[in-house]
């Protein structure tokens, strides 16, 4: 089967490509390298089943595929706020282009939506039927409202043209190939601890997140694509932790003795985030297998290796 992955050179996209390629599938990776990196997919570049296309999804494109995985968009708050107008255009125009492609080739599309669509949730855990509590005009809104409208557009295409649709709401995901410059909490904490610097906590650190290891997430994406379920599905690990406890955990694994450094909490930073994954368990027979401790160790190994290479 032929797969088109937009954003395929990114953190999550490249792990998805690894899985598909290892299973003998044919892959077209489409990326404009705004936040993705060639290194993430270079190991496939000589393979006949792999094709790399440098392209911005804002511009229309027509590559035929049976399965389309629409991941293209900067996903870290730091990255998507640098160019907010570009972010919104990427999400809306990019999703529109990919839906036109889906319609033209009668393909199956999976939209990578996000837990961000729940905003600063008033309920925990977040269920798919919750409509969210979202600031429309804040700095985070370009991504949050963008992804909300992307979902709306998908379901309007489905109602109008009966496209073959899957939508997953991806909660915080971590693992090897996260980028240090992304400003994500896990990559920040690990790289700070490796460099013997204080870990930077935004706000009082009592906000929570639930972190899913990337291999679990890729399996969830594949289960969703292969299923017959076309309503939105939360994918994430329900193991919830405060940011302060996460910092203590990473400091202790890496034996970092520095004090924590408390900085301002960014605007609209959600106070709690924890997925309800009952739909994923019932409909996809999927749930994450890798514990936070286990996943952190694998991620620390990855960053330690990068750090050693950097020093040589
Ligand atoms: N955060 C932090 N220190 C950092 C980076 C992030 O305390 O160096 C906090 C951030 O304010 C948020 C949480 O960690 O409350 C998760 O941030 P991240 O950017 O990884 O993901 P998201 O906010 O999208 O869940």
Q: What is the pLDDT of residue 308?
A: 81
| Substitution site in 139, 209, 244, 246 for ligand 1 pocket (most atoms within 8 Å of beta carbon) | 209
- Tokens linked to 221: 């994406």
- Tokens linked to 78: 């730091």
Please state, in angstroms and rounded to a whole number, the distance separating the CA atoms of residues 44 and 233: 30
| Substitution site in 175, 184, 214, 266 for ligand 1 pocket (most atoms within 8 Å of beta carbon) | 184
Centre of ligand 1 from the C-alpha of residue 257, in Å: 21
Q: CB neighbours of 76 closer than 8 A, spacing ≥ 6? A: 35, 182, 183, 184
- Tokens linked to 260: 């924590």
Q: Does domain 2-174+212-236+271-291 have CATH number 3.40.50.300?
A: no
Q: What is the pLDDT of residue 139?
A: 93
Centre of ligand 1 from the C-alpha of residue 173, in Å: 12
Strand 200-202 and strand 232-235: the pairing is unpaired
Please state, in angstroms and rounded to a whole number, the distance separating the CA atoms of residues 99 and 166: 12
Pocket of ligand 1, beta carbon within 6 A? 76-77, 172, 184-185, 188, 200-202, 207, 209, 243, 266, 269
Centre of ligand 1 from the C-alpha of residue 140, in Å: 13
For the chain, how long is the longest CA-to-CA vector? Answer: 58
Centre of ligand 1 from the C-alpha of residue 115, in Å: 14
- Tokens linked to 254: 């890496």
Q: Return the domain boundaries, the chain.
A: 2-174+212-236+271-291
Closest Cα to atom 12, ligand 1: which residue?
269
Closest Cα to atom 6, ligand 1: which residue?
185
- Tokens linked to 166: 């899957």
Closest Cα to atom 13, ligand 1: which residue?
185
Residues in the chain: 312
Q: What is the pLDDT of residue 67?
A: 98
Please state, in angstroms and rounded to a whole number, the distance separating the CA atoms of residues 168 and 114: 7
Q: Which residue has the tokens 């999550």?
A: 12
Could you confirm whether 213 is annotated as catalytic?
Answer: no
pLDDT tens string, the chain, 312 residues long: the values are 999 999 999 999 999 999 999 999 999 999 999 999 999 999 999 999 999 999 999 999 889 999 999 999 988 888 888 899 999 999 999 999 999 999 999 999 999 999 999 999 999 999 999 999 999 999 999 999 999 999 999 999 999 999 999 999 999 999 999 998 889 999 999 999 999 999 999 999 999 999 999 999 999 999 999 999 999 999 999 999 999 999 999 999 999 888 899 999 999 999 999 999 999 999 999 999 999 999 999 999 999 998 888 877
Contact between residue 40 and residue 71 where contact means Cβ atoms under 8 Å apart: no
Please state, in angstroms and rounded to a whole number, the distance separating the CA atoms of residues 157 and 96: 9
| Substitution site in 185, 187, 193 for ligand 1 pocket (most atoms within 8 Å of beta carbon) | 185
Please state, in angstroms and rounded to a whole number, the distance separating the CA atoms of residues 82 and 2: 34
Task: Check 80, 118, 143, 174 and give the catalytic one.
Answer: 143
The H-assigned helical ranges of the chain are 11-22, 77-82, 84-105, 141-161, 185-194, 214-226, 243-253, 278-279, 292-311
Please state, in angstroms and rounded to a whole number, the distance separating the CA atoms of residues 188 and 306: 14
Alpha carbon dihedral 292, 294, 300, 306, in 10-degree steps, equals -120
Please state, in angstroms and rounded to a whole number, the distance separating the CA atoms of residues 54 and 38: 10
Please state, in angstroms and rounded to a whole number, the distance separating the CA atoms of residues 14 and 22: 12
Centre of ligand 1 from the C-alpha of residue 14, in Å: 22
């Amino acid at each position: 089967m032929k797969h088109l992955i937009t954003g395929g050179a990114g953190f999550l996209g490249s792990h998805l490509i690894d899985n598909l390629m290892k299973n003998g599938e044919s892959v077209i990776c489409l990326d404009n390298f705004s936040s993705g990196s060639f290194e993430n997919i270079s190991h496939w570049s000589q393979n006949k089943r792999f094709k790399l296309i440098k392209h911005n999804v804002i511009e229309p494109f027509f590559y035929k595929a049976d399965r389309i995985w629409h991941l293209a968009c900067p996903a870290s708050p730091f990255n998507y706020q640098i160019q907010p107008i570009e972010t919104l255009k990427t999400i809306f125009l990019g999703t529109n282009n990919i839906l036109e492609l889906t319609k033209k080739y009668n393909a199956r599309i999976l939209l990578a939506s996000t837990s961000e669509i729940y905003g600063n949730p008033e309920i925990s855990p977040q269920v798919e039927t919750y409509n969210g509590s979202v600031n429309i005009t804040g700095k985070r809104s370009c991504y949050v409202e963008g992804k909300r409208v992307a979902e709306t557009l998908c379901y309007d295409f489905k109602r109008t043209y009966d496209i073959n649709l899957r939508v997953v709401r991806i909660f915080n995901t971590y693992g090897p190939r996260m980028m240090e410059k992304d400003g994500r909490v896990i990559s920040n904490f690990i790289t700070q601890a490796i460099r013997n610097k204080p870990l930077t906590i935004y706000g009082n650190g009592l906000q929570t997140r639930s972190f899913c290891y990337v291999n679990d997430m890729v399996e969830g994406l594949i289960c969703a694509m292969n299923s017959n379920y076309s309503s939105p599905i939360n994918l994430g690990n329900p193991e919830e932790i405060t940011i302060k406890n996460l910092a203590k955990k990473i400091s202790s694994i890496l034996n970092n003795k520095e004090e924590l450094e408390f900085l301002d909490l960014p605007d609209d930073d959600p106070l709690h985030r924890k997925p309800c994954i009952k739909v994923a368990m019932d409909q996809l027979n999927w749930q994450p297998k890798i514990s936070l401790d286990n996943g952190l160790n694998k991620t620390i190994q990855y960053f330690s290796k990068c750090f050693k290479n950097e020093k040589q």
